[in-house]
Homo-oligomer: A and B are copies of this chain.
Amino acid sequence: MRMSKVKVLFLPDQVTVEVEQGTSLLKAAAVAGISIKSTCGGAGTCGKCLVQVKEGEVRVDSTRNLSPAQQKQGMVLGCQAFAISDVTVEVPADSRLRRHQVLIGELEQPDLGDFPFEPLLRTVTLDLTPPTLDDITVDSQRLLAALAVQGYQPVHLPLRLLQRLPEDLRTAMWKVDVIMSLTDCGWQVIAVEPNNPGKERFGLAVDIGTTTVVVSLHNLANGQTVARAGTYNLQAQYGDDVISRMIHATENKDGLTELQQAVVKTINDLIRQIEKETQINREDIYGLVAAGNTTMSQLFLGISPKYIRLEPYIPTISSVAAVDAAEIGVKIHPRGMVYLIPSVASYVGGDITAGVLATRLTDAEEITLFIDIGTNGEMVLGNRDWLVTCACSAGPAFEGGGITFGMRAMEGAIERVKIDSSTGEIEYKTVQDAKPIGICGSGLIELLGQLRRAGLIDRTGKFTDQVQTDRLRERDGEKEYVLAWAKDSGSGKDIVITESDIKNLIRSKGAVYAGVRSLLRAVDLPLEAIDRIFIAGGFGHYLSIPEAVEIGLLPDVERDKYAYVGNTSLKGAQLALLSVSAWHRARQIGEMMTYIELSAGNTFMDEYVSALFLPHTDLTQFPSVKG
């Protein structure tokens, strides 16, 4: 069958792309470089990918989530509508992925602490004696012998370098900078360059999040952070969360390749952005260390996550040898190397290992709970002698999924709320102080805590009649609370939270708390044994601890035991990049962690059911919260 091509014009962007007839509008938008929300990854269930067909013919496979009025206006789900003729499509602001409030932070300098500065990527300057008739050592041996004198042994010289070695050495008149990277078998030479004391060389630390990717660039001579950048993970066009990406990778012919290339493109785009900002050339970046969850790690390397998803949930890799950047498409020095922080299990990845490394959990005697809340709640409990870890499926609620007006922490997201318990009125703050269009995770947790404190909901999450306010109302047989009226909102719609939304949130917080309890029970320790609680991840920064305890998401311990630790995934990657000792430590940590599989046995289920109240069935666990 010969496919005909059709043109799709996107408005108001005025971008036209040519695609094969029968291509979904969602995919055409991706081709056009327009990012459309697609939480369900194009399954037609999330209803986020709404676009309006202005002209031309489309085939519509499903109208789920669409009101008759919307359909009349030509609104379709981008993933369910396929271009048959040339078409003109309007993409509403609501359907767009906005510029994310990506946590790139200041140009913070890495804190190596006790780790010596000894980067994974090194420059060694050699002043070689040129060969003569009396000294006929072959070129490669001459180089290797000089490196051995400096303590680098064994050193591997790949064929690609051997092929150019004679010219490289003679052009440099035997005075060379040898750039090497540590491998599982000694050192590998990346480049042999003419000695140039003025030349700066760099390494990249990368946090590959499911949602966002953040990188920091470091001078390999002193470890200094010289640039930092962050953006969306372009994989988002294939699904918002890890599960929908796994499905995409497994069930589409090119799915794995698409996801692999998307994350690599994300990183390459960030490098290009840094190139522009700093005048640093990407070829002067000789390697990178990346940390991400297990699925992100495998997708980055082009390894299918299929069996991560299927029982008994087995990843292909944990610790993996450094790979060639070129082999996976990362555009740095053509022979640059890529390192991955090892993961522990299918749902406890390198980002968590990096977190344990960055927070020096294994340096301390104190028992620490490290917790990273996203779609999954991943947590580690332990100290210098032992570490246990688990992951629970918190569901997408904290990231805006499954919540009527849920959204990520982007422009227009309500992130802080305060409810007056006498009037039932609400004050809120949005990201970038834009008009509200939805509510993000930190806002939702605060909202739940405030609703409960104000008596607007009861311990089961049901709305009460205690407070008289017209913000509390019923629509389509379900009770809801209005956060922002249509006139004040950015979308012209009332922003509400419904009783089902609250139920979803309670399930999410219950799962996380049950995870903490299960970990404690696995090592037979009481809540009081926890000396410190570290809250990690992008979400952590915005999380209000009092409200998180109020709703029973986090344990009710002294508030001064809590600390925000920020993006420890990136921090851990930085440490490994800049200190061989830290890199080795990361690998030890990966091996040292005992993974507790929550789906085995009844502990987790019992704990979960008990946690489906606000704050909990067992109020003695939350002495500071009034029931």
Contact = CB atoms under 8 A, between A and B. Distances in A.
Contacts of A311: 133
A602 interface: no
Interface stretch (A275-283, A319-327, A550-558, A613-621): A319-327
A163 interface: yes
Given A156-B321, A185-B154, A166 B133 contact: no
Contacts of A315: 138-139
Given A159-B320, A185-B186, 16 more contacts: A131-B314, A134-B597, A134-B600, A136-B312, A136-B595, A138-B315, A139-B314, A140-B318, A140-B320, A141-B318, A141-B319, A159-B328, A163-B303, A166-B314, A170-B307, A184-B185
A255 to B, nearest CB: 14
Nearest to A327: B159
A4 interface: no
Contacts of A137: 314
Contacts of A323: 159
A124 interface: no
A220 interface: no
Interface string A308-339: 00011111111111011001100000000000
Contact of A162 (B163, B170, B301, B313): B301
Given A138-B317, A185-B186, A321-B156, A306 B166 contact: yes
A380 interface: no
A302 interface: yes
A165 interface: yes
A331 B135 CA distance: 38
A145 to B, nearest CB: 12
A166 B304 contact: yes
A345 interface: yes
18 contacts: A131-B312, A131-B314, A133-B311, A133-B312, A134-B600, A136-B314, A137-B314, A139-B316, A154-B184, A154-B185, A156-B185, A157-B321, A159-B301, A159-B323, A159-B327, A162-B316, A166-B307, A167-B304
Given A133-B600, A163-B303, A321-B156, A316 B140 contact: yes
A156 B132 contact: no
A166 B312 contact: no
A313 B136 CA distance: 7
Contacts of A314: 131, 136-139, 166
A320 B136 contact: no
B162 A317 contact: yes
A138 to B, nearest CB: 5
Given A134-B600, A303-B162, A306-B166, A140 B317 contact: yes
Given A136-B314, A138-B317, A317-B138, A163 B131 contact: no
Nearest to A601: B133
Interface residues of A, number: 51
A599 interface: yes
A135 B320 CA distance: 20
A303 B221 CA distance: 32
Interface in A133-183: 133-141, 154, 156-157, 159, 162-163, 165-167, 170
Contacts of A345: 136, 138
B301 A136 contact: no
A326 B616 CA distance: 62
Closest 6 CB pairs of A and B: A185-B185, A133-B312, A139-B316, A131-B314, A138-B315, A138-B318
Contact of A156 (B166, B184, B301, B312): B184
Contacts of A138: 314-318, 345
A302 B133 contact: no
A320 B136 CA distance: 17
A398 B540 CA distance: 82
B159 A312 contact: no
A608 to B, nearest CB: 18
Interface string A575-618: 00000000000000000000101011000000000000000000
Q: Determine which residue in A131, A162, A346, A597 has the highest number of CB atoms from chain B within 10 A of its CB, and name it.
A: A162
A426 B345 CA distance: 85
Contacts of A328: 159
Nearest to A294: B138
A141 B304 CA distance: 17
Contacts of A135: 312
A302 B361 CA distance: 50
A418 to B, nearest CB: 45
Q: Determine which residue in A138, A318, A323, A345 has the highest number of CB atoms from chain B within 10 A of its CB, and name it.
A: A138
A589 to B, nearest CB: 16
A165 B301 CA distance: 13
A166 B316 contact: yes
A166 to B, nearest CB: 5
Contacts of A320: 140, 159, 162
A314 B154 CA distance: 22
Q: Determine which residue in A184, A311, A317 has the highest number of CB atoms from chain B within 10 A of its CB, and name it.
A: A317
Nearest to A154: B184
Contact of A302 (B157, B163, B186, B318): B163
A141 B319 CA distance: 9
A230 to B, nearest CB: 27
